[in-house]
Amino acid sequence: MVKSLPPRSQVKLEDTWDLTSLFSSEEEFYQALAQLEDHANAFQQQFSGKMTDPPSIIEALTAYAELYEKLVPLSTYASLVLSTDQTNDAAQMLSSKFGSIAAKISSKLSFLSSELLTLPEETLQQAMQESADFKVYLEKLIRKKQYQLHPEVEKTLAAYSSTFSAPYGLYNTTKMVDMKFDDFEVGGKSYPLSYVSFEGDWEAEPDAELRRTAFAAFSNKLKDYQHTTAKTYDMQLQAEKTTSDLRGYETIFDYLLFNQEVDRSLYNRQIDLIMKELAPHMRKYAKLLQEAHGLGKMTFADLKISLDPSYEPEITVEESKKYIDDALEIMGPDYLEMVDRSYKERWIDFAQNTGKSTGAFCSSPYGDHPYILISWTGRMNEVFVLAHELGHAGHFYNANREQNVFNARPSLYFIEAPSTMNEMLVANHLLKSSEDPKFKRWVISSIVARTYYHNFVTHLLEAAYQRKVYERIDSGQSVNAGILNGLKRGVLEEFWGDAVEITPGAELTWMRQPHYYMGLYPYTYSAGLTISTQVSKRILNEGQPAVDDWIEVLKAGGTKTPVELAQMAGVDITTEQPLRDTIAYIGELVDELVKLTEEIKVK
């Protein structure tokens, strides 16, 4: 049964992450922040106006890399401390202090790219030849040249960077600090409700009355904050549109996709094909859930339930490690050592407490080990969630060791491939471990309901909705709660058709996702899973050679484009074939669930 969440001060130490490898105390953090500001001043004095030839360019970039490496742990610490308890005043102040100092530093350092781009391109090309370390950095800089503004404008925009990121902070404050949920009542009994408990427990609650009442109570509270949240989101959108116009991008989509290094056709293809061709398979899955649970009607509040709740194993944190070790063993001893360290050295924050960020994420600071946030409820499907985040960890564990600080991070388009890859490896391992129809059905339903539903449905429907929002913004319009609700409802109705009733409250789902403050991020989940589905099939069929290729992809970090990284792994994303194959594979999984359900009934 769901319990009320404790304050952060009452959770067990072993369930929390250990941030001391970043900073041993807040005092040490503040000292390092002051030193970084001094370092930035010295850097500006030493190199502003002095970069004239390849040797001086290389000297400046070497010093800049050193400075940037000192910024990373500060940024990470400020973010992670706040993410575990957004009600903590000290964490709020620390995060704000970092934001304001980081904006000052960013403004001071803006001269670097401005001055480099005033140099002849041949000079920059020569610097690349003399130092391969900075080739990728300079190539990306040259690519941006046509969108670069006057140095004084760049300096001013950089000074406002913390203001431009304010909508995201305001969204989180509204969601995690101000929004308080009352208990809800079913059959004369009272039940606690919170963001974490709804998304971690109530959404998947087998009892229909409890689940639907929790959904209604949760939605009613969201509704109280819809206008503030919509205004916050519109601030974000208008800032992005203004930046896009100032820099001279043709559309806001071109601006937001620029750093992803993919053509807009890849973005549109991902949304259009899935909306059209995956929908029939997922409607069949919804009907299967409805029949399995004997529901008179299938509503939006019922979509996250397990196909067989009686067969939902519970699992402890300690037990999860065995499953993950066995599933990821194929990745080799170095990868497994990282997994082992993540448990032993407390890289993972498992605790459930008030004020903690919802969902799960992995932060992988350069020069340190990764950190994973998850709120562990004991459901077996969280093995998939943890494997997903360890996929991010494994990616940057490899990339950060192989590449310099400028070259480690790949395009956002590719970022979810290594994470979803691990989910596929867990699924493939579990499928091989038993022939019992009930167990097989549980595993396949976990793949459909967790891996594919989450990444190919939840996030993709966000992307389809987000595209409609940006189309409005790009045409010079704004949004409010009513408009956002209408757009979200329209996308849900288009995808689910008459298979699912889009009940009141479903349209407010746009309020639950922080991804909208991160550019065109939601569609990249399905893009990454398209790549990892194909690579996981290669691993099943070819074994070690496919694994070796994948490890090389992880090590490559950001030195190649998403198309090139996928090619290294044997997948051609310039065509729609990998996506069509993945959609067909999901259809096969749903058909297998229908077949296994019939078999189990007969027995």
Q: Could you report the per-residue pLDDT of 90-129, keeping only the tens digit for each?
A: 999 999 999 999 999 999 999 999 999 999 999 999 999 9
Which of 279-293, 417-431, 432-446 has the lowest average pLDDT? 432-446
SS3 542: helix
Last residue of a domain, one of 143, 159, 175: 159
Establish if 503 belongs to a structural domain.
Answer: no
Report the alpha-carbon distance of residue 239 to residue 528 in Å, rounded: 28
Residue 37's H or E segment, with its range, is: helix 26-47
| pTM of the predicted protein model | 0.89
Q: What is the pLDDT of residue 431?
A: 87
> Residue with structure tokens 């360019």?
57
User: Would you give the DSSP letter of residue 278?
Assistant: I
Contact 289, 305 (CB under 8 A): yes
* pLDDT tier at 2, thresholds 50, 70, 90: low
Last residue of a domain, one of 159, 175, 193: 159
The boundaries of the domain holding residue 98 are: 8-159
SS3 185: strand
User: Would you give the DSSP letter of residue 379?
Assistant: B
**pLDDT digit string (tens) for 473-523?**
999 999 999 999 999 999 999 999 999 999 999 999 999 989 999 999 999
What the block records as the tokens of 16 is 């929390």
What's the distance, CA 546 to chain centroid? 25
Q: What is the pLDDT of residue 419?
A: 94
Establish if 420 belongs to a structural domain.
Answer: yes
Among 592, 136, 569, CA closest to 395 = 569
What the block records as the tokens of 317 is 């944190």
Q: What is the pLDDT of residue 603?
A: 63
Last residue of a domain, one of 96, 129, 159: 159
* pLDDT tier at 200, thresholds 50, 70, 90: confident
What the block records as the tokens of 349 is 């924050």
Report the alpha-carbon distance of residue 532 to residue 448 in Å, rounded: 15
Q: Are strands 371-373 and 348-349 parallel, antiparallel or unpaired?
A: parallel
CATH of the domain at 123: 1.20.140.70
CATH of the domain at 596: 1.10.1370.30
Number of domains in the chain: 2
Q: pLDDT averaged over the chain?
A: 94
Q: What is the pLDDT of residue 1?
A: 53
Establish if 216 belongs to a structural domain.
Answer: no
> Residue with structure tokens 């689910």?
496
**Which residues partner with 372 through β-bridges?**
348, 362
Establish if 97 belongs to a structural domain.
Answer: yes
**pLDDT digit string (tens) for 240-273?**
999 999 999 999 999 999 999 998 999 999 999 9
Establish if 466 belongs to a structural domain.
Answer: no
